[in-house]
């Protein structure tokens, strides 16, 4: 027991001294300035539509799509692009990306139905636990949908369904990227690939021609590169006839926006230890940032890994399916100050049910006072109007001051916020398209 305690103490000491990079002030100001420059336009929308309000930023979305395509088309050929609808399921986002010649990656019958309603002709259907009615909808539209099968059980159900429908469907199979923990819910183990492929080929109505894997929260390309190397070793050992039938590999998405992950001090390893020990948070502590690689670095390094480990074994089309990287800058939030309870505490008209989780207790995003703009950041608890103390928007604001009636902007809230919003206590905002 003494050794165990000593080891634990050393681990805690390591966490307390582990440096987490601070967010450079000049980088933060550079991020904030363009939003203040458009402040008059945002205020007009708040006046027209009321508050709170989602702002769907189509110009930012289109620019993002163009940059991603340029990066990967320069590095990889052939390559196809799919938007992961789960990151933001607003139909206008999918419609804009379809116009940019993206396909759609869906993971439920609900998302598949929306994709079909929008006229999407290139859809991949991924995800575990697909119900029979969802699979039936995909099979009914076999000319538009590729089913990325997730398990042996799903293969057997698909076999039964296509035998009665007499439709030939195009399929891939997902490979497990995490053999341990909760990520093992996705896909099949890599060592079962040859057997799975052989079993699928026993059905005349299944055309199995591709693989998928997905690794999330990638601040750099290294996790994906490591999996590509393992995949190359597995493919090299497959029978030649199976390798020849490989037409595509879907390498997922999971690219983190290059501004990195911005954190409050309490969300760093040292901050979490202090919280567990019952110590108060550090006052006026700096914002922190875990840096992320630019998308061009992802494209170049993933292309090099594919050239080394995959293409010498079997040339094929590469598919990518970003969600967060594409939708992150495509939506902003407008909220208004309703009450000022102290010089450093205000209540807004929006609760964090509009983003679906208590992200701002740990994640830092600048809160911009459009009514009193200034490039100076002041400490203030900016809280929502829900009956829970976890209803937090931030602990600072940019502006000259903050008063009831002021309109605040929280930028770049397009990924995993609108899709996670909840009907909890307060009504959900409208959406205005920029």
At 152, list the tokens.
Answer: 């042996």
Least confident range from 74-88, 255-269, 305-319, 361-375: namely 255-269
Q: For residues 167 and 294, which has the higher predicted lDDT (pLDDT)?
A: 294
Percent of residues, the chain, with pLDDT higher than 70: 95
Residue-wise pLDDT for 149-185, tens only, equals 999 999 999 999 998 888 899 999 999 998 788 889 9
What are 386-424's pLDDT values in tens digits? 999 999 999 999 999 999 999 999 999 999 999 999 999
Taking residues 354-378, report their average pLDDT.
95
Taking the CB of residue 191, how many other CB atoms lie within 10 A of it?
Answer: 12
The bridge status of strand 103-106 relative to strand 79-84 is parallel
Q: How confident is the model at residue 270 (pLDDT cuts 50, 70, 90)?
A: confident
Helix axes 58-75, 91-99, angle to 10 degrees: 40
Indicate left, alpha or beta for 161 from its phi (over 0: left) and psi (-120 to 50: alpha): alpha
Class of domain 59-327: alpha beta
Whether this prediction's pTM lies above 0.75 is answered by yes
- Summarised one tens digit per residue, pLDDT across range 300-355 is 999 999 999 999 999 999 999 999 999 999 999 999 999 999 999 999 999 999 99
User: Does the pLDDT at position 299 exceed 80?
Assistant: yes
Bridge partners for 339 per DSSP: 347
pLDDT for residue 19 is more than 80: no
Integer distance in angstroms from the first to the last C-alpha of the chain? 61
Strands (E), 169-246: 169-174, 206-212
The torsion of the CA quartet 253, 256, 257, 262, rounded to 10 degrees, works out to 160
pLDDT number for residue 286: 85
In this predicted structure, the answer to whether residue 2 has a pLDDT above a threshold of 70 is no
Residue spans per domain, the chain: 22-55+328-433, 59-327
22-55+328-433 CATH pick, 3.40.630.10, 2.160.20.60, 2.40.280.10, 2.40.37.10: 2.40.37.10
């Amino acid at each position: 027991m003494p050794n165990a305690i000593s080891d634990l103490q050393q681990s805690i000491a390591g966490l307390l001294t582990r440096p987490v990079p601070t967010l450079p002030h000049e980088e933060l100001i550079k991020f904030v300035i363009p939003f203040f420059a458009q402040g008059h336009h945002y205020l007009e929308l708040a006046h027209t539509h009321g508050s709170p309000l989602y702002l769907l930023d189509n110009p930012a979305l289109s620019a993002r799509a163009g940059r991603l395509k340029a990066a990967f088309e320069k590095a990889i050929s052939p390559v196809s692009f799919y938007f992961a609808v789960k990151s933001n399921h607003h139909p206008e986002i999918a419609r804009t990306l379809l116009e940019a010649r993206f396909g759609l990656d869906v993971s439920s019958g609900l998302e598949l139905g929306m994709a079909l309603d929008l006229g999407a002709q290139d859809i991949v259907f991924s995800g575990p636990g697909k119900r029979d009615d969802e699979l039936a909808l995909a099979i009914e539209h076999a000319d538009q949908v590729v089913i990325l099968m997730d398990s042996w059980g799903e293969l057997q159900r698909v076999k039964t369904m296509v035998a009665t429908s007499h439709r030939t469907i195009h399929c891939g199979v997902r490979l497990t990227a995490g053999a341990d923990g909760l990520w093992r819910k996705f896909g099949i183990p890599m060592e079962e690939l040859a057997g799975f492929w052989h079993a699928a080929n026993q059905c005349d109505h299944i055309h199995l021609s591709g693989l998928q894997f997905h690794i999330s929260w990638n601040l750099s390309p290294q996790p994906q590169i490591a999996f590509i190397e393992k995949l190359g070793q597995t493919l090299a050992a497959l029978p030649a006839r199976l390798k020849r039938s490989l037409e595509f590999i879907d390498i997922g998405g999971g690219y983190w926006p290059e501004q990195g992950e911005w954190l409050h001090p309490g969300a760093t390893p040292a901050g979490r230890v202090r919280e567990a020990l019952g110590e108060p948070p550090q006052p006026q502590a700096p914002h922190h940032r875990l840096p992320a690689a630019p998308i061009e670095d992802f494209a170049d390094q993933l292309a090099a890994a594919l050239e080394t480990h995959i293409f010498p074994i079997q040339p094929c089309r590469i598919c990518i399916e970003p969600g967060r990287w594409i939708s992150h800058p495509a939506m902003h939030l407008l909220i208004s100050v309703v009450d000022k309870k102290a010089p450093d505490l205000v209540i807004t008209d929006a609760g964090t049910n509009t983003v679906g989780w208590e992200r701002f207790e740990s994640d830092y995003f600048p809160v911009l006072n459009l009514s009193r703009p200034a490039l100076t950041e002041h400490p203030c608890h900016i809280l929502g109007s829900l009956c829970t103390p976890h209803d937090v928007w931030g602990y600072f604001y940019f502006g000259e001051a903050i008063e009831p009636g002021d309109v605040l902007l929280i930028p770049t809230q397009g990924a995993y916020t609108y899709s996670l919003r909840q009907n909890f206590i307060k009504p959900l905002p409208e959406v205005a398209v920029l």
